Amino acid sequence: MANNDTPCAGTAQDRPSDCPVQPASADPAANELKTTRRDFLRAGGMLSLSSLMGTAALMTQSDDANAAVEWGEHFQKNYRLMTTEEKNEARLRLERRYSDEYGKKVAVDTTEAQPGMLMGYALNIRKCIGCRRCVHACVAENNQSRGPRPGEKIEWIQVLRMERGKFEQEKMNHGYPEGLGIQVGGNAYTPAGQVLEGQYHYNPKAVPEADATYMPIACMQCEKPPCVKVCPVRTTYREGDGPVVIDYNWCIGCKMCMNACPYWARRFNLTTPVLPKEEMNPVTHYLGNRPRMRGVVEKCHWCLQRTRHNRYPACVEVCPVGARKFGNLLDPESEVSKILERKNVFRLKAELNTFPKFFYFYD
C-alpha cells in the first residue's frame, strides 16, 4: 500500500524538504482552504488505512466463495471491454459463488449476440385480458427480489388498467364551471382509450372487466435508448442483437437511467434482494437474470438466457391469450415480421424518437 521507493512519497515527517509541493487540488479555490499540509496528509493517510482495512476484511475470508468473488469482481473491467478469457474468469467466479449461495448448480451464460439476429417483440393490445401472468412469469424466470417489505418486491412488467370510457348525455354538463362547461372549451371530459394514466394496482375478482382495457408495459428495448445515453459509467448498452442490457457489476446505482427512461421500465434494488434458494432460477446469463446485488438497476432484457438459445421469453410462453409475440425482425418468416407486414402497429411514445423494438398491434 505505502510506496516508499521514492523519497518524496511517505508521511510528512520523513520527507526531504526539497520535494516539490503538489497542490492538493487542480482547482485554485480548493488551495485557499485553511488546512495545513500536515492535516491534509494525515487525512490521506487515514483514507489509505481505511481502504487497507477493507482489503484486509476481504482477504480474511479468502476461502469463502463470496469474498473471493467480490475481490475478483472489484478489479474486473466493464463487461464490454473484457476479453473472452476475462469473461470466462468472471463466469466461473460467479458460478462458484451462486452455486455456493443458493445450494444448487448455477450456470452463468456468457453467450454473445449471434449475427443475423435482431430481436423484436409485438403485443396484441386488443387481446390482453390483464391477468398479470406475464408479470409473475417474469419474476419466476429472472430472479427478481421478492421480499414482503416495501422495496423488496420487484416486477419488471407493469399492466395498466384503463377505463374504456364512453360519452353520455348525462355527462354533457360536467364541464367547468359545473353545469356550463364553457370556460375550458368543452365538457366531454370522459377518459377513454389508451391514456397511460391507468391503474397499476387493480385487483378485481375476475378479468377482463367489461369497462376496461389493459396495456402491459416493460422495457421497449429502444434502438435509440435514452437510458444508454445518460449512463455515466456506460454499464448499460444495446447488445448487437437488440436488447439493452446492464452489466450489474459496473452499475453505480445513480439512477440516471431510471430518470431518462420514458417507459418507467427500470427498477432499483433499494434493499439486498430477497431471493429464496428454491425459487432461484439456476439458468442465468451474465447480462440477464443472474442474481443482482443491492444498489443496482435492473430491467427487462427479453430473457437473454433463453433468447440467446432461441427459446421464447418467459412472458410470451405463459400469456394465456397469445397476445405476446416474439421473433427475429431480420427474418421475414418470423411472427414479428409477419405482424409488422400485416397488422396495424404502433410504438408507445413514438414521438420521442426512441425507436422501440416493442410493437403494439391489434387485429
Partner 1 sequence: MRKLASLSVILALCGGAFYAVSAAEKAAEPAKEAAAAKTPLECFESRKGASELTQRDVKPDWPNVKCSPTTGAALWYGDPYDGTVPMGKMPGLDIAEGKAVVKPRTEKLALMPMCGVSCHNGVGPAFNPPKLPKDKKPAPVPTMEAMVPDLANFQHGRGRIWCMDCHHTTKRNMLVDHFGDPVSFDQPQLLCGKCHGDKLRDWRDGIHGKRIGEFVSTGKKRWFTCTECHNPHNVQDGARNKGFIQVQPEPSPQLPRGMANADHEKLHPIPH
Binding positions for partner 1, 158-197, rule CB under 8 A: 158, 175-176, 184, 189, 191, 195, 197
- Give the footprint of partner 1 on residues 31-60 (CB under 8 A): 49-50, 52-54, 56-58, 60
Q: List the one residue out of 151, 128, 175 whose CA is nearest residue 273.
A: 151
310 binds partner 1 (CB under 8 A): yes
203: left (phi over 0), alpha (psi -120 to 50) or beta: beta
Question: Does residue 30 bind partner 1 (CB under 8 A)?
Answer: no
String marking each residue 96-125 x if it binds partner 1 according to CB under 8 A: -----x--xx--------------------
Q: Applying CB under 8 A, does 307 fall inside the site for partner 1?
A: yes
Q: How far is the CB of 261 from partner 1 (least distance, A)?
A: 17
Name the segment binding partner 1 (CB under 8 A); options: 26-34, 90-98, 250-258, 318-326: 318-326
Smallest gap from residue 330 Cβ to partner 1 (A): 11
Using CB under 8 A, which of 27, 32, 278, 351 touches partner 1?
Answer: 278
Phi, psi of 281 (to 5 degrees): -85, 115
Is 346 a residue that touches partner 1 (CB under 8 A)? no
The correct pick among 77, 96, 153, 349 for binding partner 1 (CB under 8 A) is: 153
Task: Please give the radius of gyration of the chain, using alpha carbons only, rounded to the nearest integer.
Answer: 27
Task: Say how many C-beta atoms besides its own lie within 10 A of residue 171's C-beta.
Answer: 14
Contacts of 325 (CB under 8 A, 6+ apart): 121, 122, 123, 124, 316, 335, 336, 339
Q: Could you tell me the smallest distance in angstroms from the CB atom of residue 28 to partner 1? A: 32
Cβ proximity to partner 1: between 86 and 112 the closer is 112
Q: Could you tell me where the beta strands, DSSP code E, fall in 54-176?
A: 107-109, 119-124, 158-163
Residue number, 50 or 259, with CB nearest to partner 1: 50
Q: Based on CB atoms, which residue is closest to partner 1, 58 or 352?
A: 58
- Closest contact distance (angstroms) between CB of 343 and partner 1 is 7
d(CA 119, CA 175): 47
Contact 320, 136 (CB under 8 A): no
Of 87-95, 224-232, 289-297, 332-340, which part binds partner 1 (CB under 8 A)? 332-340
> Which amino acid does the sequence have at 205?
K
Nearer to partner 1, 36 or 272 (CB): 272
DSSP string, 27-77: SHHHHTS---HHHHHHHHHHHHHHHHHHHHHHHTTTTSHHHHHHHHHHTPP
Residue identified by cell 484486509 is 56
Query: Which residue from 19, 43, 47, 140 is in contact with partner 1, where contact means CB under 8 A?
Result: 140
- Which residues contact residue 54 at a Cβ distance below 8 angstroms, ignoring those fewer than 6 apart? none
Count CB neighbours of 226 within 10 A.
Answer: 18
Residue with cell 421500465: 265
Size of the residue set binding partner 1 (CB under 8 A): 90
With CB under 8 A as the contact rule, the residue among 93, 97, 133, 308 that binds partner 1 is 133
Tell me: does residue 136 bind partner 1 (CB under 8 A). Answer: yes
- Indicate the residue among 137 and 246 with the shorter CB distance to partner 1: 137
Least distance in angstroms from the C-beta of 128 to partner 1: 8
Q: Is 73 in the site for partner 1 (CB under 8 A)?
A: no
Give the shortest CB-120-to-partner 1 separation in angstroms: 10
Q: Is residue 198 a contact point for partner 1 (CB under 8 A)?
A: yes
Under the criterion CB under 8 A, does residue 126 sit at the interface with partner 1? Answer: yes
What Å distances lie between residue 7 and 4, 38, 42, 253, 323, CA to CA? 7, 17, 18, 40, 71
